[in-house]
Amino acid sequence: MTESMTRQLVRAAAVVALLAVAAPAAAQRPYRGVADSEFRIRVGQFEPRGDSAYWDDTFDVFTGSVDQFDDIAIGADYVLSLGRRSGLMFSLDGYEGEDDQAYLDFVDTFGSPIVHTTRLEFVSATAAYVLSLTGRDAAVVPYVGIGGGVYDWELEESGDFIDFGVVPAEIFTDSFRDGNTTLGWFWLVGVDVPIGPRWSVFAEGRWQRLDEELNGDFEGLGDLDLSGRHIFGGFSWRF
């Protein structure tokens, strides 16, 4: 886990800690059948779509595929109830994926692959409107939602590369980075299964949509598609 992602997740942990401190007071109120708030923890996988010039050009030259960047994603939500079937969901999410890539058509003088590591990460803070398709007292509660927010992302390629601008071509070692904060949106579907008056488990899918024009060390390489699918499982606590 990189230092930047660690800092972002520490902030998320601070939010969780504040909710935990407030929870005992909230738990002392009589339960009325409809909780005012809900706290959720999610763990799953993010699968980048990879539909942009950067990804296409990368895999024309190097080994691998966008599927190699399918990796662990984590998230936490605070849901403010607006009634028996709707609420506002505020979320923090983090993802980091990486893959070692080698040139398809070139090797070094010893016949070994020329390899670098590509790393993609983002941390997001989002808000969504969520609608339950049944009441919360149902045995199984399907729900849908739509929202958007701020995505802080970073792309890095670090390792060995070929400089074709000199004759003969030379292998060099370097690191290239770009990153930015951008807006994106998503929609979600899920199913919640209560296992008590306040606790439940759930499964959820989120479809994230955002693209960013590369700059920094990758300027001129087109757009980076940061869209993709999240698949999560988790538990929630209503209070």
- Domain ranges in the chain are 3-238
pLDDT at 137: 78
Q: Which of 98, 104, 92 is nearest to 19 (CA)?
A: 92
Rounded to an integer, what distance in angstroms lies between the CA atom of residue 239 and that of residue 235?
14
Q: What is the pTM of this model?
A: 0.82
Enter the CATH code of domain 3-238: 2.40.160.20
Low-confidence ranges of the chain (pLDDT < 50): 8, 10-33
Q: What is the pLDDT of residues 107-130, one digit of tens each?
A: 999 999 999 999 999 999 999 999
